[in-house]
Amino acid sequence: QVLITDLTMDTGVQELLVKAEQENIETAFQRAKEQEPHCKFGLTGVCCRRCLQGPCRVTFNGNKGVKRGVCGATADQIVARNLLSLIVEGTTPHVEHAREILHTLLEAAEGKAPYEIKGKEKLISIAKKLGLTVDGVELDKLAQEVALIALQDFQQQSGVSHWLRLRAQDKSIETWEKLNILPSNAHLEIANAINKTAMGCESDPVSLLLGIMKMGLVEGYDGLHLSTDLQDILFGTPRLVKTQYRMGVIKEDYVNIAVHGHIPMVSEKVLEWSRKLNNEAKALGAKGINIVGICCSANELLMRQGVSVATNYASQELAIITGALEAMVVDAQCIMPGLAQVADCYHTELISTLPNIKIEGASHVDWTPEEADKMGEEIVRRALAHYPERDQSKVKIPAGTVEAYAGFSVEQIVELLATLNGADPLLPLIEAIAKGDILGVVAIVGCTNPKVKQDWANTEVAKELMRNNVLIVASGCSAHSLGKNGLLSPAGLQYCGEKLANVLTAIGQANGLPALPPALHMGSCVDNSRIDDLLVALADRLGVAVRELPVAGSSPENHSPKALSIGTFFIAQGVDVHIGVNAPITGSPLVEQALTANKGEFPVTTDELFGGKLIYEADPIQAAQTMIARIIQKRKALGLVC
């Protein structure tokens, strides 16, 4: 018998799981249990389905059994090929995300799409870094020029990605150049990677591993950085905002619309039209229209507009089970197909929006840059029409919300620090790190995964690090875990070591706050670019390479291939990356040793080549301690107090 309290820490989700059970509605939590025990060949990565001679399953970890597939492929070759495929699957949605924002910006600049360019400062700063003339140039013209340079990263047949040159540290570029893994064109690199993994193509595991690292750079620059930069140009750079977390943000007396997915061009328009049509909700007897967020659509609207967050990945279906959502609007990534089945049990309309991403059982309203207003209005009007259909006997919204702060872009962090030292804003942070008041910085990022008690590993890793004076920066659904549990609020300082608490209080009070929260929410999954920007800024200010910094990344409840591709990007930067749910690599001693630097026969590791490695550890306390040990090792190498 599985206890609901073992499935999630979120008491609101627990309440809704009871309701789901009573109403006989299936959720991901239940389906995850039905899949146990998982296939060991799949878990260890040694199942190959690349051709019709198979599928082939070979022995893992030196166990007895078949050593090669029909074509002769070994466990090392099969695991390396499968991992590259998985990393491509993680990278591609972010590259598509970047391409979509690029076209939206271009069309907005050309007057063809109804979006206003709100991030003038970001536009000018990026245009200058790209070497464009900015003085006397109209904003729209400048945005067009920036977008056209970005477009080259999807078109050029040679050369190095413009966004990599724009954002990477020179020291890192040198390392990647020597290894011949500098990417040129995101689409070309994805095609090359798929070509490598195709049946009968590349079988050298070392070359496949370098292909994986190259794909990590595609993810980092033409996925994450490009998306964030262009979104900041179009929608503005986030600034400090205060918001609320948990299912209680869904309001019984409002027309409720949940935005779920990742693409702010969709969610921003839904929000805009909800404001325009708010009075129509009042005419229906509601108090207004309430927009709530799920996953990274939540993060995008939270960071720039302070919109409240209902829940994160694993419990997305439960938001519908409140019975109080008139519509759930989805775009791309992390959308469970199971949502349609749940929505069918209520009056909720599940609406997909991207022309090339349709969801079985959902209705569809097409988003295109030019037709964005039409989409926003249509979706909000459909939600209004569903309000009278709501069955009040089915409504149950778990009470209670938690206060949280977000909006910590690098620009905002620098602005906060500037109140302590206007001439050299990063200096107070660097001094705190040098003295050991801040032992190091760890990014808690990624997902929730029904294989792990929801929010538990994310919060436990964070709390153990905070206790040891490690500053947390957060993004994605992991940030939601921290938000739901009070770690994005100054009240979370109770979990910090004294030295860290003093630093956060001093910075907060210099800015009119009781303190900064112990975890700084830096945004959506693509906004892991902001974390990278912060690392590059710190390393540049110190005159060292990113790989030398006392920092690490952690994704304690990872589920998505995106977590692996983002992790690969940070390993390429020289940052250790912890995952709490293992990647399918343990079937190959070579791949496992190369990525984790565990002792073995294979001599070359990512740790040696890049300065970062993969850490798998399911126990959150042990994971935190492993990262702390590494942070101390890097501090010693820099000659810092330990």
**Stretch 215-254: interaction string toward ligand SF4, x if CB under 6 A:** ----------------------------------------
Complex with ligand SF4: residue 56 or 150, whichever CB lies closer? 56
Does position 51 interact with ligand SF4 (CB under 6 A)? The reply is yes
Report d(CA 297, CA 431) in Å as an integer.
36
Complex with ligand SF4: residue 41 or 313, whichever CB lies closer? 41
SS3 string of 528-586? Answer: HHHHHHHHHHHHHHHCCCHHHCCEEEEECCCCCHHHHHHHHHHHHHCCEEEECCCCCCC
Complex with ligand SF4: residue 50 or 103, whichever CB lies closer? 50
Stretch that binds ligand SF4, among 68-76, 272-280, 323-331, 361-369 (CB under 6 A): 68-76
Range 545-604, binding ligand SF4 (CB under 6 A): none
Buried b (16+ CB within 10 A) or exposed e, 175-202: bbeeeebbbbbbbbbbebbeebbeeeeb
- Minimum distance, C-beta of residue 50 to ligand SF4, in the bound complex (Å): 4
Question: Which position among 16, 28, 46, 73 is part of the footprint of ligand SF4 (CB under 6 A)?
Answer: 73
- Minimum distance, C-beta of residue 616 to ligand SF4, in the bound complex (Å): 25
Report d(CA 634, CA 642) in Å as an integer.
10
Does position 86 interact with ligand SF4 (CB under 6 A)? The reply is no
Report d(CA 282, CA 612) in Å as an integer.
55
- Minimum distance, C-beta of residue 47 to ligand SF4, in the bound complex (Å): 9
Nearest CA-CA partner of 378 in 400, 408, 351, 339: 351
- Minimum distance, C-beta of residue 203 to ligand SF4, in the bound complex (Å): 9
Dihedral angle at the C-alpha atoms of 330, 366, 377, 407, nearest 10 degrees?
40
Give the containing element (helix H, strand E) for 373: helix 372-386
Does position 201 interact with ligand SF4 (CB under 6 A)? The reply is no
SS3 string of 178-240? Answer: HCCCCCCCHHHHHHHHHHHHCCCCCCCHHHHHHHHHHHHHHHHHHHHHHHHHHHHHHHCCCCC
Complex with ligand SF4: residue 54 or 436, whichever CB lies closer? 54
Complex with ligand SF4: residue 70 or 637, whichever CB lies closer? 70
Total of residues contacting ligand SF4 (CB under 6 A) = 14
Does position 195 interact with ligand SF4 (CB under 6 A)? The reply is no
Question: Which position among 32, 71, 134, 139 is part of the footprint of ligand SF4 (CB under 6 A)?
Answer: 71
| 3-class DSSP assignment, residue 266 | helix
- Minimum distance, C-beta of residue 41 to ligand SF4, in the bound complex (Å): 12
User: Which distant-in-sequence residues (6+ apart) come within 8 Å of 226 by Cβ?
Assistant: 98, 101, 102, 150, 153, 163
**Stretch 322-361: interaction string toward ligand SF4, x if CB under 6 A:** ----------------------------------------
Buried b (16+ CB within 10 A) or exposed e, 583-610: bbbbbbbbbbbbbbbeeeebeebbbebb
Stretch that binds ligand SF4, among 48-56, 124-132, 461-469, 508-516 (CB under 6 A): 48-56
Nearest CA-CA partner of 78 in 98, 60, 52: 60
Question: Which position among 39, 70, 604, 642 is part of the footprint of ligand SF4 (CB under 6 A)?
Answer: 70
Does position 53 interact with ligand SF4 (CB under 6 A)? The reply is yes
Does position 56 interact with ligand SF4 (CB under 6 A)? The reply is yes
- Minimum distance, C-beta of residue 46 to ligand SF4, in the bound complex (Å): 9
Question: Which position among 194, 199, 418, 491 is part of the footprint of ligand SF4 (CB under 6 A)?
Answer: 199
Nearest CA-CA partner of 89 in 583, 563, 555: 563
- Minimum distance, C-beta of residue 333 to ligand SF4, in the bound complex (Å): 28
- CA-based angle 580:586:591, to the nearest 5? 105
Does position 196 interact with ligand SF4 (CB under 6 A)? The reply is no
Contact 112, 370 (CB under 8 A): yes
Contact 481, 455 (CB under 8 A): yes
- Minimum distance, C-beta of residue 199 to ligand SF4, in the bound complex (Å): 5
Dihedral angle at the C-alpha atoms of 237, 408, 549, 216, nearest 10 degrees?
-60
Nearest CA-CA partner of 376 in 227, 233, 265: 265
Report d(CA 489, CA 500) in Å as an integer.
14
Nearest CA-CA partner of 322 in 401, 260, 252, 386: 252
Complex with ligand SF4: residue 55 or 400, whichever CB lies closer? 55
Looking at residue 360, its amino acid is E
Range 384-423, binding ligand SF4 (CB under 6 A): none
- Minimum distance, C-beta of residue 76 to ligand SF4, in the bound complex (Å): 12
Question: Which position among 8, 17, 25, 69 is part of the footprint of ligand SF4 (CB under 6 A)?
Answer: 69
Complex with ligand SF4: residue 70 or 399, whichever CB lies closer? 70
Kindly give the interhelix angle for 295-305 and 226-235, rounded to the nearest 10 degrees: 40
Question: Which position among 11, 54, 451, 640 is part of the footprint of ligand SF4 (CB under 6 A)?
Answer: 54
- Minimum distance, C-beta of residue 81 to ligand SF4, in the bound complex (Å): 8
In whole angstroms, how far apart are CA 121 and each of 128, 142, 149?
A: 11, 12, 18
**For residue 406, what are the β-bridge partners?**
241
- Minimum distance, C-beta of residue 83 to ligand SF4, in the bound complex (Å): 14
Please, what's the largest Cα pairwise distance for the chain? Answer: 72
Stretch that binds ligand SF4, among 51-59, 401-409, 453-461, 522-530 (CB under 6 A): 51-59
Q: Is the peptide bond before 55 cis (omega within 30 degrees of 0)?
A: yes
Stretch that binds ligand SF4, among 24-32, 50-58, 207-215, 221-229 (CB under 6 A): 50-58
Nearest CA-CA partner of 242 in 182, 333, 306, 337: 306
Complex with ligand SF4: residue 37 or 200, whichever CB lies closer? 200
Stretch that binds ligand SF4, among 3-11, 49-57, 212-220, 537-545 (CB under 6 A): 49-57
- Minimum distance, C-beta of residue 201 to ligand SF4, in the bound complex (Å): 10
Does position 446 interact with ligand SF4 (CB under 6 A)? The reply is no
DSSP state of 309: E
Report d(CA 291, CA 329) in Å as an integer.
10
- Minimum distance, C-beta of residue 197 to ligand SF4, in the bound complex (Å): 10
In 383-478, where do the E strands start and end? Answer: 402-406, 440-444, 470-474
Contact 530, 410 (CB under 8 A): yes
Stretch that binds ligand SF4, among 64-72, 120-128, 216-224, 364-372 (CB under 6 A): 64-72
Does position 50 interact with ligand SF4 (CB under 6 A)? The reply is yes
- Minimum distance, C-beta of residue 72 to ligand SF4, in the bound complex (Å): 7
Stretch that binds ligand SF4, among 44-52, 101-109, 476-484, 629-637 (CB under 6 A): 44-52
| 3-class DSSP assignment, residue 36 | coil
Chain contacts with ligand SF4 (rule: CB under 6 A): 48-51, 53-56, 69-71, 73, 78, 199
